[in-house]
C-alpha cells in the first residue's frame, strides 16, 4: 500500500437539532464582534441566534472575488465568523475569517489561480453550518471564487473552518430542485475522488461509504424523504473529506460550463459525470472499478459489460433527479466546444485524472456530452472512440 498523509483542522459536529446550541455556544464568548454570513433563506437563523452580531445576507449570487473583497473589509475587527448556507456562503465565510488577522485588501493576498498559503496568519475562530447536502465545503481547505469569468481557488491549511456543524434538519426545507442540484455535487465529489489517482486508503473508504449512501438516497432525498436527506448529509460530508484526493475532469468541464451558462455548479458537474467516467473507465484499476460496480449496481452487476451498466446507471440517476444529461439540453452552443476544451486544459488541469488527456480528448468528451448520444452507453466502452 502506498503511503499517504491526511489531516483536517476542523472539528465535526454531526446530528439533528445540533446547530442551534452549537451556534449559540460559539458566539457567546464575544457576541458583539461576530460576523454571520448567512444565506437569504436562513436569515431568521442569524437574527434569532445572533441578535447582536453583524449579519451579512448572501443573495445566492456566484461568490465573486468582488463580493469576497467587500466581505473581507466588513470582517475586519471581528473575533468570530459564522457561515450558514450552501457552499457559496461557506466559501465566502472562509475568506472573511482571514480578514481580522491578515492586513490589507483581499487582492493583496491573492495572485494566481491557485493561491496556496497566501495568508500569513491563521484565521479567527470560524464555524461553518451547511444548509445544503452537496459541496462539503465545511470540511475542505479551499474557497472557490469567480474572478474575471474564471474560477480561482484559494487553498491551504488556513482555509479550514474551526468547527463544522452538520445538522440534517437544516436541509428539510430544501426544494426538490435544490436537493437534487446539491446532492449531485456531493455524488460527483465521491465518484471523481474515488477514481482519482491521488486517492488513498482513507479517501477511498470515505468514497465507498458515501457512494453507498448517495446511490440509495439521492432520489428519495430529492423527493423530500427526511431519512434520505439525513443520509445525503453524511454522503456530502464524506464527499468533502474525500476531496483531499482531488476531483478530476468532471469538475473542470463543470467550470467551463458555468463560465458560459448561469446554472448551478451541481447541474454542470452532474451532466459531466457519466461522460468523464466513460472516458476514464479503461484506466481505472480493476479492483476499484469492481467495487464501484458493486456499490452502484448491487446484484445487477454482471461479469461482462458492467461498465456499460454503470454509465447507464449514472444517466438514469440524472434523469430521475430531473437534471439534464446533455449539453444540448443546457443550450450550450456547439461552436463553443473548442473554447471549452481550451479552458479545461489551460485553466483547470487535473493531475489526478486516471486517464491522460489532451485538448482533443476533452473536445471529444464534450462532443459526446453535446449529443448525449444513447449510443455512448449502448455501445459501452468497448467500441467508442474514447478507447485508446
Ligand atoms: Fe463540486
What per-residue confidence (pLDDT) applies to 386?
Answer: 38
What per-residue confidence (pLDDT) applies to 117?
Answer: 62
In this prediction, residues 285-307 reach a mean pLDDT of 83
Neighbours of ion ligand 1 (CB under 5 A): 185
> Has residue 111 got a pLDDT over 90?
no
Cα of 350 from ligand 1 centre, angstroms: 14
Residue with cell 484526493: 245
Question: In the chain, pLDDT over 70 holds for what percent of residues?
Answer: 93
The answer for residues whose C-beta is within 8 angstroms of residue 44's C-beta and 6 or more apart is none
Cα of 239 from ligand 1 centre, angstroms: 9
Quick one: 131 exposed, middle or buried, by C-beta within 10 A (0-12, 13-18, 19+)?
buried
Q: Are strands 54-58 and 80-85 parallel, antiparallel or unpaired?
A: unpaired
Name the strand (E) or helix (H) holding 65.
helix 65-74
pLDDT digits over 333-388, tens only?
A: 999 999 999 999 999 999 999 999 999 999 999 999 999 874 454 333 443 433 33
> Has residue 228 got a pLDDT over 90?
yes
What per-residue confidence (pLDDT) applies to 122?
Answer: 94
Look up residue 103 and give its three cell numbers. 492586513
> Has residue 141 got a pLDDT over 60?
yes
Given pLDDT bands bounded at 50, 70 and 90, which one contains residue 301? low
Look up residue 99 and give its three cell numbers. 480578514
What per-residue confidence (pLDDT) applies to 263?
Answer: 94
pTM: 0.94
Cα of 188 from ligand 1 centre, angstroms: 7
Distance, in Å, from the CA atom of 25 to the CA atom of 80, rounded to the nearest integer, reads 12
pLDDT digits over 114-123, tens only?
A: 655 678 899 9
Quick one: 304 exposed, middle or buried, by C-beta within 10 A (0-12, 13-18, 19+)?
exposed
In this prediction, residues 179-205 reach a mean pLDDT of 98
What per-residue confidence (pLDDT) applies to 308?
Answer: 85
Cα of 135 from ligand 1 centre, angstroms: 6
Cα of 240 from ligand 1 centre, angstroms: 9
Look up residue 328 and give its three cell numbers. 444540448
Rounded to the nearest 5 percent, the helix, strand and coil shares of the chain are: 55, 10, 35
> Has residue 252 got a pLDDT over 50?
yes
Cα of 53 from ligand 1 centre, angstroms: 30
What per-residue confidence (pLDDT) applies to 373?
Answer: 74
Question: In the chain, pLDDT over 90 holds for what percent of residues?
Answer: 80
Cα of 185 from ligand 1 centre, angstroms: 5
What per-residue confidence (pLDDT) applies to 378?
Answer: 38
The answer for residues whose C-beta is within 8 angstroms of residue 20's C-beta and 6 or more apart is 49
> Has residue 305 got a pLDDT over 80?
no
What per-residue confidence (pLDDT) applies to 32?
Answer: 87
Q: Mean pLDDT across the chain, nearest whole number?
A: 91
Amino acid at each position: 500500500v502506498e503511503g499517504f498523509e491526511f489531516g483536517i483542522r476542523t472539528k465535526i459536529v454531526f446530528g439533528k437539532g445540533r446547530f442551534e446550541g452549537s451556534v449559540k455556544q460559539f458566539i457567546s464568548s464575544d457576541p458583539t464582534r461576530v460576523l454571520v454570513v448567512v444565506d437569504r433563506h436562513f436569515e431568521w437563523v442569524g437574527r434569532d441566534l445572533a441578535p447582536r452580531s453583524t449579519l451579512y445576507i448572501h443573495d445566492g449570487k456566484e461568490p465573486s472575488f468582488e463580493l469576497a473583497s467587500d466581505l473581507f473589509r466588513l470582517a475586519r475587527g471581528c473575533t468570530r465568523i459564522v457561515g450558514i448556507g450552501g457552499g457559496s456562503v461557506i466559501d465566502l465565510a472562509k475568506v472573511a475569517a482571514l480578514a481580522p488577522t491578515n492586513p490589507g485588501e483581499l487582492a493583496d493576498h491573492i495572485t494566481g489561480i491557485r493561491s496556496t498559503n497566501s495568508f500569513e496568519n491563521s484565521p479567527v475562530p470560524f464555524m461553518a453550518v451547511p444548509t445544503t447536502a452537496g459541496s462539503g465545503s465545511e470540511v475542505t481547505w479551499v474557497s472557490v471564487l469567480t474572478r474575471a469569468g474564471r474560477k480561482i481557488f484559494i487553498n491551504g491549511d488556513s482555509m479550514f473552518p474551526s468547527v463544522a456543524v452538520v445538522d440534517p434538519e437544516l436541509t428539510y426545507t430544501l426544494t426538490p430542485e435544490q436537493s437534487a442540484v446539491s446532492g449531485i455535487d456531493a455524488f460527483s465529489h465521491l465518484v471523481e475522488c474515488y477514481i482519482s489517482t491521488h486517492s488513498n486508503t482513507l479517501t477511498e473508504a470515505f468514497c465507498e461509504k458515501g457512494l453507498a449512501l448517495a446511490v440509495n438516497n439521492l432520489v428519495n432525498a430529492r423527493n423530500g424523504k427526511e431519512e434520505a436527506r439525513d443520509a445525503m448529509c453524511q454522503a456530502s460530508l464524506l464527499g468533502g473529506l474525500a476531496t483531499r484526493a482531488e476531483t478530476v475532469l468532471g469538475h473542470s468541464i463543470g467550470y467551463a460550463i458555468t463560465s458560459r451558462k448561469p446554472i448551478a455548479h451541481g447541474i454542470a458537474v452532474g451532466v459531466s459525470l457519466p461522460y468523464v467516467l466513460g472516458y476514464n473507465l479503461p484506466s481505472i484499476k480493476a479492483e476499484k472499478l469492481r467495487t464501484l460496480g458493486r456499490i452502484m449496481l448491487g446484484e445487477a452487476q454482471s461479469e461482462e459489460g458492467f461498465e456499460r451498466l454503470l454509465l447507464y446507471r449514472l444517466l438514469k440517476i440524472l434523469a430521475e433527479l430531473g437534471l439534464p444529461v446533455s449539453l444540448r439540453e443546457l443550450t450550450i452552443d456547439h461552436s463553443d466546444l473548442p473554447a471549452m476544451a481550451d479552458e479545461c486544459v489551460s485553466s483547470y488541469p487535473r493531475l489526478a485524472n486516471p486517464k491522460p488527456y489532451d485538448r482533443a480528448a476533452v473536445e471529444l468528451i464534450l462532443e459526446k456530452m453535446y449529443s448525449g448520444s444513447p449510443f455512448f452507453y449502448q455501445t459501452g466502452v468497448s467500441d467508442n472512440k474514447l478507447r485508446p
